[in-house]
Amino acid sequence: MAQVSLRTRLHDCPAPAKLNLFLHVTGRRPDGYHLLQSVFQLIDHGDTLHFDLRSDDRIVRTTDMPGVPEEQDLIVRALRTLQAEYGRRHGSLPPGIDVAIEKRLPMGGGLGGGSSDAATALMAANHLWQAGLSTPELMALGLPLGADIPFFLFGETAFAEGVGEALQAVPGPDCWYVVVEPGVSVPTAAIFTAPDLTRNTKPIIIADFSRRHDDLHDQIAFGKNDLQDVAARLFPPVAQAIEWLSGYGAARMTGSGACVFSAFSSEQEAEAVLEKVPPQWKAWKAKSLTKHPLKSLLQINEL
């Protein structure tokens, strides 16, 4: 096992959250997976990961994550998947990695935290190991682990179809978001298996969304989140957060929940709303991103 990089560590690696500006369920495949259409938007709020190469080939999570056993952690699974792929390509395993996590994103929040962490791990390890995989190759490795992982590797505002893996770049809003965490964790499976979930929203084309690019409020109000009504019924705090935030503009749940967001033209507008958030909820502001910050730091310019 040879040392494959002149660098032995990558610290302060961002793993940003995502928002679903809309989320339509357009059908269901024979294997049970749902067909979706959505626009994924990166924001500048998320987790931070630190990576250190080891002298052996073990992948070790050095941060305790209550409720997430190491063997089930998407970060660990992603790193082991890439390590195995490296071994197949090069005939020997690269060094192991210690990974530490500063967790800011809530579990079951619809912000893609676990998938974002895994994508950041894949990009960082690909760089540290000089594994040489392209972004599309990393996306293919990540997809079996989680349908959102390819988006974070894609790394820019995207129109998504299929189960979320078919991605095309699309211009997104330049704005600030207020995100409310209602204090509940929403399990994705509970939403997608609900009997009252509708699965027949008429498919759209990218132009339906893109033509609204010049008008923030028109763009944010586009479409709907087909999962929102189910989540709001099963988890009343989600409904309460939507109702409250709607008093300041169009408010919507992201993903399968539980977090709720609204868009504002300026940081000052977002800050003014934050000051009024009821004390029972955690809330924060975030700026829209056009590109994944780690791709910029590592100077990844492909795709």
Do 163 and 180 share a domain, yes or no?
Answer: no
Q: pLDDT band at 216, cuts 50/70/90?
A: confident
When comparing pLDDT for 85 and 29, which is higher? 85
Contact predicate 161/142, CB 8 Å? no
Contact predicate 120/15, CB 8 Å? yes
The residue-averaged pLDDT of 251-265 equals 96
Mean pLDDT over the full length of the chain: 93
CATH of the domain at 92: 3.30.230.10
What pLDDT digit, counting tens, does each position of 233-253 carry? 999 999 999 999 999 999 999
**pLDDT at residue number 299:** 83
Do 157 and 202 share a domain, yes or no?
Answer: no
Catalytic, 18? Answer yes
Do 187 and 261 share a domain, yes or no?
Answer: yes
Do 138 and 225 share a domain, yes or no?
Answer: no
Into how many domains does the chain fold? Answer: 2
Do 275 and 193 share a domain, yes or no?
Answer: yes
pTM score: 0.95
Do 15 and 99 share a domain, yes or no?
Answer: yes
Q: Is the pLDDT of residue 3 over 50?
A: no
- Which of the following is catalytic: 18, 47, 73, 226? 18
Q: pLDDT band at 6, cuts 50/70/90?
A: low
Between helix 135-142 and helix 74-90 the angle, nearest 10°, is: 120
**pLDDT at residue number 1:** 35
Q: Is the pLDDT of residue 31 over 60?
A: yes
Q: pLDDT band at 4, cuts 50/70/90?
A: very low
**pLDDT at residue number 207:** 86
Helix (H) or strand (E) holding 158: strand 158-161
**Domain-located, residue 4:** no
Do 156 and 246 share a domain, yes or no?
Answer: no
**Domain-located, residue 301:** no
- Distance, in Å, from the CA atom of 133 to the CA atom of 130, rounded to the nearest integer, reads 8
Do 160 and 180 share a domain, yes or no?
Answer: no
- Which of the following is catalytic: 117, 148, 226, 295? 148
Q: pLDDT band at 303, cuts 50/70/90?
A: very low
**Domain-located, residue 247:** yes
Catalytic, 148? Answer yes
**pLDDT at residue number 302:** 60
Range of the domain at 198: 176-287
